[in-house]
Structures are given as structure tokens and as C-alpha cells.
Amino acid sequence: VNSWGRIFRISLWGESHGPAVGVLLDGCPAGLPLTADAFAADLSRRKSGLSGTSARQEGDRPLIKSGMFNDQTTGAPILIEFPNADVDSAPYEKIKDTPRPGHADWTAHEKFHGHNDYRGGGHFSGRLTVGLVAAGVIAKKIIQPARVQAQILEIGGQGEYQAALERAAAGGDSLGGIVECRVAQVPVGLGEPFFDAAESLIAHIVWAIPGIMGLEFGAGFASARMAGSEFNDELVEAAGKTATNHTGGCNGGITNGNELVFRVAIKPTASIARPQKTINLRTGAPEQIRIEGRHDACIALRMPVVLEAATAIVLADLLLLRRAMNHEQ
Ligand SMILES: Cc1cc2nc3c(=O)[nH]c(=O)nc-3n(C[C@H](O)[C@H](O)[C@H](O)COP(=O)(O)O)c2cc1C
């Protein structure tokens, strides 16, 4: 079901071309200073408009419907709504019987027996991440002084990616990328093994973000080629600081106080303007489509702030869980 978290609990709702999308957030502590303006910086980092992103222009001004009073959280559920204003569904009417390769059109159609809203990808649109980012703004406050920061490492296999991106977009194609997320000043002791290990929860929420294809913590897949003598992070301070950080900030699913570090691989955007083969849902016959409409040439461009939000949400939930379970000294 579409909700996540044990105490800091979020539900994402809406469809790309419906009236609105948003987030319902429960379990937020009361008395947290919060104004509508606090959301602006992160929301603008997720917006489209830059080179390589969709031409869709949404205001993304949060309408806070509940849970805030006198510029503070009240402890009641917080409902934040983002109206969908810049909607053009015409290109989706043309391809409604011909699912886009690489997108969720076919699986959603099969699972929901054709009742899914196919316009703009419906509930499977990257637009749903606007609610995640809004919840992340609140989570980032809860986890202070811990600070989450994500950045693009490469796009299309290159650190200097602008030219490759422009070439791909001009040719009606798309590119994938790698984004790294780091959290500084993580408290020691977050994570409730076995199943609510810190990495497990991050993996759960990160993999729910549309377009994610890979995730590694610390040395990740490279650790399989290292010897123990090379890999082990030697302790150098009683507070838990280690000389290296190959595990990426967790041992046994519990944060060890070193930087939390993980990277994600993001696939090239499914909706490309080149001719592609698919099957017509009504006739069952093969068909060639060319996708029109407004799409990101590279999703990774908009991903850093989404990953930051997802990570902050996990850490906020784990902090509140640790408090509730009375593990604090
Ligand atoms: C911020 C963001 C923007 C996205 N923009 C697009 C887009 O313009 N076109 C597209 O085909 N997919 C886009 N996606 C990816 C699709 O939503 C995703 O590929 C689709 O829902 C299928 O899910 P999956 O890739 O996880 O299997 C975007 C994802 C995110 C997070």
C-alpha cells in the first residue's frame, strides 16, 4: 500500500494529470517551526525547466491544508497539496493503447485491468516525488544537526555531461546517471535490525522512487573484489570514527556515526522521441510508436533533492523510533 514509515509516516497521493498530487504526513512532532516558505528551496531544486529536463512548468507552491498553526507543526496529520496546473494530456490519448517501452504503462494496465489513469504516467509519474520532497523538508528539520546532501556524479558515464546530454536530447534520446548521497553528523545507533536496518529502510524507500536501477552503500560492489585487510574500517576514536568508510556508515544495520554514503544508478528516461516497437493493447498486434509530449532527457538531473528527502525521511523515522523504543541513554 502507498504509505511508508513506522512513526514518521507518509502517504503519497495523486496522478500526474489529475487535479493535484501531494503528501499526507503523520507522526510529525508538535512545535517544529515551519512556514510555507521553508519548502521553496528544495522544491525548486526538483523542478523541471533546466536544460535536459521536461518543459512542463508547475508552480509547485505547497498548499498546506492541515497540521500547521502559527508557523509551527501541531502534531496533527499534515496534508500538503500541489495542484497540477500545466497539464497537456493530448499526447497520452494518442498512445493509450500502445504502452511505452520501459515505462509502467503496460504493468499498470495489466494490474489494474485498464482502470489506471494513463495520462502522464498517472500515479507512476515522477511528479509524485514532489510530495516526497515536501516531507523531506520537514524530516531534514527533525534530523538536525545531521545534514543530507546529494549530488550528480555522472550522466551517460561522464562527469562533464552537458554536451552528451544535449546530443542525446537533440537526437530524441535520453541518458541515465549516478547520484551520490551523503549524510554528515549522523547519530550513532539508528537502525532496528533485523528488518528495519538503516540500509534496508533506505533501500526500501529509495527503490520506490521511479527510475532507480541500482544502489550501493560505501564501497558497494567494489567490496567484493577487496581483501578484508583492505576493506575493514579501522576504529581510530572512541566515538566510533573510522580511518576509512568502506561500509558507508553502518555496521549490522546500525549507523556508526561516520558519514552515511550511498550511490544510486538511475535509468535513462523511458519516454524517448525515437521510433520504438510495442504491442497494441486492443489488437495485440505489433506497432511502432514515437512518443510525443514533454519529458526529462535525464531523470538524474532532478534526483539529488529527491534522494535527500528519502534519506531524511528514513532517518527521521528511525530517530523517532529510537525515542519510542527507549533505546536512548
Ligand atoms: C523526478 C522524476 C522525473 C521523471 N520524469 C520522467 C519523464 O519525463 N518521462 C518518463 O518517461 N519517465 C520519467 N520518470 C521516470 C518514470 O516515472 C518511471 O520510469 C516509471 O514510473 C516506471 O518506473 P520504473 O522506472 O521505476 O520501473 C521520472 C522520474 C522521476 C523521479
Q: How far is the CA of 269 from the centre of ligand 1 (A)?
A: 6
Q: Quick one: average pLDDT of 75-84?
A: 97
Apex CA 154: angle with CA 153 and CA 158, to 5°? Answer: 140
Average pLDDT of the segment spanning 185-193: 96
> What digits encode the pLDDT tens for the residues 38-48?
999 999 999 98
What pTM does this model have? 0.97
Ligand 1 pocket test, candidate residues 296, 301, 302, 306, most atoms within 8 A of CB: 296
Q: By percentage, how much of the chain surpasses pLDDT 90? A: 91
Widest CA span in the chain: 68
CA–CA distance, 322 with 106 (Å, rounded to integer)? 41
Position 96 scores a pLDDT of 92
Q: Pick the residue with more confidence: 50 or 271?
A: 271
Q: Looking at residue 56, what is its pLDDT?
A: 86
The residue whose CA has the least distance to atom 14 of ligand 1 is: 126
How far apart are the CA of 6 and the centre of ligand 1, in A? 27
Q: Which of 106, 269, 274 has the most ligand 1 atoms within 8 A of CB, as the residue to mutate? A: 269
Task: Copy the grid coordinates of residue 255.
Answer: 549507523
Average pLDDT of the segment spanning 287-313: 96
Specify the pLDDT at position 328: 67
**Is ligand 1 within 6 A of the CB of residue 125?**
yes
Please compute the mean of the pLDDT values over residues 2-29 and round it to a whole number.
Answer: 97
- Are 181 and 286 spatial neighbours (Cβ–Cβ below 8 Å)? no
Question: By the 8 A CB rule, do 295 and 271 touch?
Answer: yes
Asked if residue 302 has its Cβ within 6 Å of ligand 1, the reply is: yes
Question: Which whole number is the average pLDDT over 174-187?
Answer: 98
**Residue written as grid cell 528539520:** 141
pLDDT band for 49, please (50, 70, 90 cuts).
confident
pLDDT value of position 51:
85
Contacts of 199 (CB under 8 A, 6+ apart): 191, 217, 248, 250, 253, 262
What's the rounded mean pLDDT across residues 133-144? 98
Task: Tell how far the Cα of 300 is from the centroid of ligand 1, in angstroms.
Answer: 10
Question: 51, 166 in Cβ contact below 8 A?
Answer: yes
At residue 329, the pLDDT reads 61
Q: How far is CA 327 from CA 156, 190, 241, 313, 324, in A?
A: 44, 10, 21, 20, 8
Residue 197 CA to ligand 1 center (angstroms) comes to 27
- Looking at residue 326, its pLDDT comes to 79
| Residues ≥6 apart with Cβ < 8 Å to 166 | 51, 52
Report whether pLDDT(250) > 90.
Answer: yes
Cβ–ligand 1 distance for 16 under 6 Å, the answer no
Separation of CA 146 and ligand 1 centre (Å): 29
| Range with lowest mean pLDDT among 83-92, 97-106, 269-278 | 83-92
Instruction: Work out the mean pLDDT of the chain and round it to a whole number.
Output: 96
54 C-alpha to center of ligand 1: Å? 11
Q: Which residues pair with 68 in a beta bridge?
A: 73
pLDDT of amino acid 1: 72
Indicate whether residue 54 lines ligand 1 (CB < 6 A): yes
Task: Please state the separation of Cα 131 from the chain's center in Å.
Answer: 10
Given this model, what pLDDT does residue 319 score? 97
